[in-house]
Amino acid sequence: MVRWLGAGLAAILAVVTLALFATGRLGLYVNPASSWFAVSMAVLLLVGAVLSCALPLGAEDDHGHDHDHDHDHGSRIGAGIALTGGAVASVVAVAVLVTPPATLSAQLAMSRDAGAPPLFAGSDTVNLAVSGDTSHFGVGDWAAVFATATNTDPFEGDPVTLTGFATPAGNGSSFDLTRLVITHCVIDARPASVPIAASGRVPSTGAWVTVTGKVRTTGDGTLEIDATSVQPVPQPKDPYEY
């Protein structure tokens, strides 16, 4: 049981990591820029698990001396703990194997909304938005610009085409366009949103859409996107921004 708890479960997690990488789904869990680290550690873990099998069963319990009663009692307690831990860990490992990879939900994004726009970009991004090419900007980039712009004139009329999922608006717009932004892995995922002003039917919460329009200044001096088109789209293969 001790060997299964250690080497066996480690090997399973390593194989799952390598399988996700081979099928292009590791990005559902970690930033692609960190994939090399996750894969390297998985390979080392798998090699270590295989090498550990060279140790004969029971060798780890051979201490080269007689066991007294207290030691035997402690061993039984330790074995019970190991058995319980092994059962729990086995359930977790099986769940990892049989559960298909899934993206984080819109509900989770809303639950992680702290009520203030998080900043995902530095001053260089904001400066680029003022005078450079913003055609490659994602929702996270524009969310940072919208949150930090003190002079909205330079952005007036900028064309945008953005893809994300709809979440309820908190500022009087039709809805917010949201993406989850990951720094290292899904554990640190945080939502980024931009307000969308659109005519017609508002997409349901969690529905993926592509918004085409222009940046404009609202009556209270903030920025929003005046949408000329809101088209339903399938969830992208890579649903996160980085």
| Tokens describing residue 135 | 């055609």
**Residue 30 in domain:** yes
Average pLDDT over the chain reads 75
Residues 56 and 116 in one domain: no
| Tokens describing residue 67 | 């066991």
Given this model, what pLDDT does residue 188 score?
75
Which domain covers residue 55, as residue numbers?
2-102
Residue 185 has pLDDT above 60, yes or no: yes
Out of 62, 79, 102, pick the residue that ends a domain.
Answer: 102
Question: What is the domain-level CATH number for residue 172?
Answer: 2.40.50
Residues 213 and 116 in one domain: yes
From the list 170, 164, 187, 175, the residue with the least C-alpha distance to 112 is: 187
Residues 147 and 47 in one domain: no
pLDDT digits (tens, 9 = 90+) for 4-18: 556 667 777 777 778
Average pLDDT over residues 177-190: 83
Residues 87 and 136 in one domain: no
Using the structure block, give the residue that is written with the tokens 């349901």. Answer: 204
**Residue 240 in domain:** no
Average pLDDT over residues 162-172: 88
pTM of the model: 0.66
Please give the tally of structural domains in the chain: 2
CB 2 within 8 A of CB 57: no
Residues 212 and 116 in one domain: yes
pLDDT confidence bin for 136, thresholds 50/70/90: confident
Given this model, what pLDDT does residue 112 score?
59
Residues 207 and 122 in one domain: yes
Distance (Å, rounded) from C-alpha 205 to C-alpha 170?
13
pLDDT confidence bin for 40, thresholds 50/70/90: confident
Out of 71, 102, 133, pick the residue that ends a domain.
Answer: 102
pLDDT digits (tens, 9 = 90+) for 51-82: 766 666 555 455 455 545 554 555 555 455 55
- Report the DSSP pairing between strands 159-167 and 208-217: antiparallel
Residues linked to residue 227 through DSSP beta bridges, in sequence order: 213
Residues 81 and 167 in one domain: no
The helix-helix angle for 139-148 and 123-131 (nearest 10°) equals 90
Residues 90 and 112 in one domain: no
For 77-111, letters b (16+ CB in 10 Å) and e give: eeeeebeeebeebbeebeeeeeeeeebbebeebbe
Average pLDDT over residues 135-151: 86
Residues 120 and 227 in one domain: yes
**Residue 25 in domain:** yes
**Residue 238 in domain:** no
Residues 130 and 200 in one domain: yes
Distance (Å, rounded) from C-alpha 55 to C-alpha 27?
36
Residue 96 has pLDDT above 90, yes or no: no
Out of 102, 132, 161, pick the residue that ends a domain.
Answer: 102
Residues 27 and 53 in one domain: yes
Residue 87 has pLDDT above 80, yes or no: no
Given this model, what pLDDT does residue 174 score?
92
Given this model, what pLDDT does residue 53 score?
66
Q: Which residue has the higher pLDDT, 184 or 159?
A: 159
Least confident segment among 143-147, 168-172, 202-206? 168-172
Residues 165 and 118 in one domain: yes
